[in-house]
Amino acid sequence: MWERLDLLTELANEADAPSLLSVARSELPRLTEGWRALLAAHEPDEKGNCPECSGRWRQQKSPCSVWRAAYEHLVAGGLAPRPARHLRSAPVTPPVTRSRRGMVVRAH
């Protein structure tokens, strides 16, 4: 997953215009569908909690970190004023888990 994102970033930064247009036409629909699926999974339930981020003993109110990250990257971009450092939440990083074979893998 990380390699794919690195490749797309590299193409965005270094590809010529025709190549960039081709990549945009093929990848943008895939990226938007991926965001839609991710956000749908984190859509708040009837109590206003994120079903994916909530656990048995601790409920995560919406908007969860996934929705906040989506808003920051897709809507606000670099144009939104950043909150004061003491008001910022921790950066969103994918959780690290171990596969059945003991390999470290990142979720998302």
Q: What is the pLDDT of residue 75?
A: 87
Mean pLDDT across 98-104: 52
Is residue 66 exposed (0-12), middle (13-18) or buried (19+ Cβ within 10 Å)? buried
Q: What is the pLDDT of residue 22?
A: 92
Q: What is the pLDDT of residue 84?
A: 58
| The pLDDT of residue 108 is above 90 | no
Distance CA 50, CA 52 (A): 6
Q: Which residue has the higher pLDDT, 95 or 31?
A: 31
Per-residue pLDDT tens over the stretch 42-98: 999 999 999 999 988 999 998 999 999 999 988 887 555 555 555 555 555 555 555
